[in-house]
Structure 1
Amino acid sequence: MERGPGQDVSVISWLDYDAPEANFMLDDPELNLAIATQGRAQDGAEGLRHFTHGLRATHEGERSHLTVLAHSYGSTTVGAADAGGRGLDADDVVVVGSPGLTVDRADQLHIAPERLWVGAAHGDLVSDIASDATLGADPKEAEFGAQRMYVDTEGHSGYWDDGSQSLINQGRIIAGMTPDMGPRP
């Protein structure tokens, strides 16, 4: 599906869940452990499902291309949302810097595995260390079954660096196009 001039694109940031803190200086051990549990992702999952299904229900005309993009623990919330109920009803899901999607394999989500895109930057400690621990299997590994999107940035927060292939690839997916798969790590 090619998109070109004159095509409308809308971006909505959904932040209606309680993201865990990663401040190990806090005196409350429960707050420190929240980042390693699925609790907050599961708590936000139903709200996200209702939101995306609401977008579908209120849209008029031809079905639009809906891409859900998530970063870090937000991807865990997206995984929990797409694994449960009727899923997210998204055409594409993009996760970057993901510590896990609450499942062991891509085919346990409602999104087709060939429409689940995973980006992992070199030196992203969240993706490198936290994946395959307590939040689900490592989505960047081939056996997970998702599509590996090429990322040319560094660290956990560089996925949107101006001019990066990572940013271009996310834009291509949002527009319903195939991203550059680039060299495999």
Structure 2
Amino acid sequence: MVAMGNPDTARHTAVLVPGTGTQLDKFTGQISRIDKLQDAAGRRTPGAGADVSVISWMDYDAPEPDLSVATRGRAEAGAQDLRDFTQGLRSAHQGDPTHLTVIGHSYGSTMAGAADAGGAGLGADDVLVVGSPGLTVERADQLHVAPSHLWVGAAKDDLVSNDFSGLTLGEDPKEPGFGAQRMYVDTAGHSGYWDEGSQSLNNQGRIIAGKTPEGPRS
């Protein structure tokens, strides 16, 4: 676990759960992503970076790029650990409760879905998934987070979202019938959601800061 900002005092806290093949030797990329997210959210809060903490959480056995990625086993095995982590953030926080967002990318969204579906859920104010192959559930209302605060971002050419959602990991969360909210994305591919200057990144920052994401720029 690595944090940008202080999660014990931040008004807005986000937990980024990465996906397939994310190991410690690739952690530099995760640090870059949480740095960008903290900056994108901080631009929308009075205290800038001091108001925001973004954490990369890797305390689960992310699947390798093999058949394990098509099963729910790794997500279900780590679900309680993620619930314990977010509940710990709540307990350790000083002052008024933080606005908590959980972000899942790729299989990390499956991990977040399994955690929020079980037990008492994640206790998140918002859950955001990008490039998701499924959240282990059939409908948004089977999660603890309110469907109005479940956000789904998917690039038009994201092969994981397009080709694997709705198969073995739950129904496709970007479909209207699922009941989630779509977040506008202007980036390409499965890993472009954090591109500098993109609306994809800006909208993630808005959600972390407790604001509604925006549509295409005019």
What is the TM-score with the length of structure 1 in the denominator? 0.90
Conserved? CA contact 2:186–2:200, under 8 Å: yes
SS in 2 for 1:10: strand
Q: Confirm whether residue 100 of structure 1 aligns to residue 134 of structure 2.
A: yes
The match for 1:14 among 43, 50, 57 is: 57
Q: Which amino acid aligns with 1:175?
A: A
Report runs of 4+ in structure 1 exceeding 3 Å deviation.
none
Structure 1 position 122, deviation (Å): 1.4
> Gaps spanning 5+ residues in structure 1: where?
23-31
SS of 1:66's equivalent in the other structure is: strand
Q: Which has the higher contact order (CA 8 A, sep 6+)?
A: 2
Greater share of strand:
2
The total of aligned residue pairs comes to: 173
**Which of 92, 104, 107 is matched with 1:70 structurally?**
104
* 1:61 is aligned to 2:95: yes
Residue-by-residue CA offset, 1:81-116 (whole Å, 9 max, x unaligned): 000000000011110000000000000000000000
Identity of aligned residues (%): 69
Aligned to 2:36: none
SS of 2:99's equivalent in the other structure is coil
Aligned equivalents of 2:216, 2:129: Cα separation in 1: 17
CA-based RMSD of the aligned residues comes to: 1.3
Residues 20 and 34 of structure 1 are in contact (CA less than 8 Å); yes or no, is this contact kept in structure 2?
Answer: yes
Secondary structure of 1:43's counterpart equals helix
Q: What is the aligned partner in structure 1 of residue 203 from structure 2? A: 169
Q: CA deviation at 1:182?
A: 4.1
Q: How does 1:3-42 map to 2 (within 5 A)?
A: 3-5=45-47, 8-22=51-65, 32-42=66-76
Q: TM-score, normalised by structure 2?
A: 0.77
